[in-house]
A and B are shown apart, each in its own frame.
Chain A
């Protein structure tokens, strides 16, 4: 970006200096003419004066150029129109020459100064634009209020060289949010900022209200409301005219307001999203609790009341069936409550992992033992790689993971189909895999199954809580591990877990205390 220091604006050059310089230039031109008068006819010396006028117009502006052309005419008459060293305004030749010189000089001056002004205006415009552009670029990447305020302050300080302060409103109370170090605001100025905020109108230097000080106050307006006030100091010694500064600062205020509004809106949107997902979750929780707690309770209540009311009329076989049913439902209720507690604890972060090097075979063994009754004689193929190391993990929690995976495998695969558990190590991870012969999960739902209360729609007969896999996910994540599900090409469904070895691996052989 072109620095504004280089923008020496013509209007800043004093008028007096302009005229003085033009006189000096004419004197210089005359000295040159005196030297050249030995070689050239006086008529040709006019060109020297015209060049001087052109130069004056280019560098000093229109009025000094007109002064220069007038003066040149008189000097030319005095020196080169005979008699020398005397005025002769009646010479016809001279009148024509003077008229020609003046018109040419005036036209050239006017054209040249117009071009110069336009170029100057373009330069200013371009500098302003690039100034705003650099601000908007910085603002676009600012994700929060603090970084926006910081960008604005640093940008203004850098490009305009003016001290700046930003007020932001919170609950209709205006407070200083960011301020340049060289700017100290007194109470009166804070009051003006408040007024500007309340009235939603510009105030300060050069405006209609509170125009005594050097500060200008711009409200940060958005379509719907005012967010705060931008305060900037005007200093005549600086490169900008008041109008330019005003225009720039106004644009800065608009940009700042927009950026702040954008951040506000995105925060709101995020909150709305969080709220929405929390509501969804709560709805799912309520549905799940009402369904998963009530349905076993109604079975148990039904069984108990039927036995209480008409137990004598039921034959032994029916009674036993009813009671077994009630017992299973009670167990299911217990599992659900356990799952719910596990999940709540995991999410609340109150689960502290007890990491200890564990025997993977032992892990699988206890999981199988815990779920033995449900397996009902199914084949479980355990495939362990040779020389598996001791892997650091929380055995109780990982046990829960394997139990949940096996439980799913049992529920979602054909009765009596085999289940496979395998374990091996890569250089960094322990890889555990549970494979069943079930129909799997539609591809687009593979990720969802780790979400809370998610249940695949089919088969409906399966009684689940939709919590098992999300608990697995929570526990594996707590171990800094990964869990993923996939449908296998030739049928079946696999869940794979990776648990980092953390290097703290002990070969079984190295420990053998006897």
Chain B
């Protein structure tokens, strides 16, 4: 089912990748899904297309021939909050973190499958049509954001204020990757940006409380070298 079935105007996707084969693949798949596409192969035209084409979402390859992908993200973020999904290869953990910290919304590791791509695009777009339901549900977990209540299988779980804030931040960004820095900035402020072990301990404690088996977490997934992703399951 296409994402367009509900809307009148089709979603506009800007694809920035200098590899013709990838362009072709994305074009055929995304057009079939009903998206309107604009494809460019360098950073400069991507920046102008971001203004002229007015995309609803940008798929951006980090290795561009002219401008560094992270730089492209920074310039777009100066004036626009359009969702950006970074396309990268596995070996670039450092670049991924830089891109995410610069304002990218998510990343996809090449090679990726169609289902994965569409899922990420959906999550990134959802931010704009956020449900007003204050209760977040995923499998056995329920987080009532209005009443600050967390239950697993209907039983209330006692969380410390930090753990609750952490969980709240994650569920409100469910499906999206969040970097260590983003969480530390949000919860503890700039001074704590280097205190990753504080974050790790809190994540570990949170998992003990909400996960059935903390060694095989279903909700809080670690993205090694990058950050965490809260998996929204139904």
Give A contacts to B, CB under 8 Å: 327, 330, 334, 338, 341, 354, 356-359, 361-362, 364-366, 368-369, 380, 382, 384, 390, 395-396, 399, 506, 508, 511-514
Contact = CB atoms under 8 A, between A and B. Distances in A.
A364 B213 CA distance: 12
Given A338-B90, A365-B215, A359 B221 contact: no
Contacts of B196: 356-357
A380 B195 CA distance: 32
Contacts of B225: 354, 395-396
Interface stretch (B62-70, B98-106, B139-147, B200-208): B200-208
Contact of B200 (A334, A358, A369): A358
Interface of B: 90-91, 93, 111, 113, 160-162, 188, 192, 195-198, 200-205, 207, 213-217, 221-225
Given A357-B196, A358-B200, A369-B221, 15 more contacts: A334-B111, A338-B90, A354-B225, A356-B196, A361-B215, A365-B207, A365-B214, A365-B215, A365-B216, A365-B222, A366-B221, A380-B216, A395-B222, A395-B224, A396-B225
A356 B201 CA distance: 13
A390 B197 contact: yes
Contacts of B192: 513
Given A334-B111, A338-B90, A513-B198, A399 B224 contact: yes
Contacts of B90: 338
B91 A341 contact: yes
B222 A362 contact: yes
Nearest to B214: A361
Contacts of A384: 215
Residues of B contacting A: mostly: mixed
A511 B202 CA distance: 9
Contacts of B113: 327
A242 B98 CA distance: 80
B215 A506 contact: no
Given A356-B196, A506-B197, A511-B197, A365 B217 contact: yes
The 3 A-B residue pairs with the shortest CB-CB distance in the complex, in nearest-first order: A396-B225, A382-B215, A366-B222
Contacts of B204: 359, 361-362, 508
Query: Which of A369, A399, A513 has the most C-beta atoms of chain B within 10 angstroms of its own C-beta?
Result: A513
A396 B222 CA distance: 10
B215 A514 contact: no
A359 B203 CA distance: 10
A337 to B, nearest CB: 9
Contacts of A338: 90-91
Contacts of A330: 111
Contacts of A357: 196-197, 200
Nearest to B197: A357
B94 to A, nearest CB: 9
B150 to A, nearest CB: 16
A362 B216 contact: no
A348 to B, nearest CB: 13
Nearest to A423: B215
B160 A514 contact: yes
Contacts of A354: 225
23 contacts: A354-B225, A356-B197, A357-B200, A358-B200, A361-B207, A361-B215, A362-B200, A362-B204, A362-B222, A366-B221, A366-B223, A369-B217, A382-B213, A395-B222, A395-B225, A396-B225, A399-B224, A508-B201, A512-B160, A513-B162, A513-B192, A513-B202, A514-B160
A509 to B, nearest CB: 9
B178 to A, nearest CB: 15
Contacts of A390: 197, 200-201
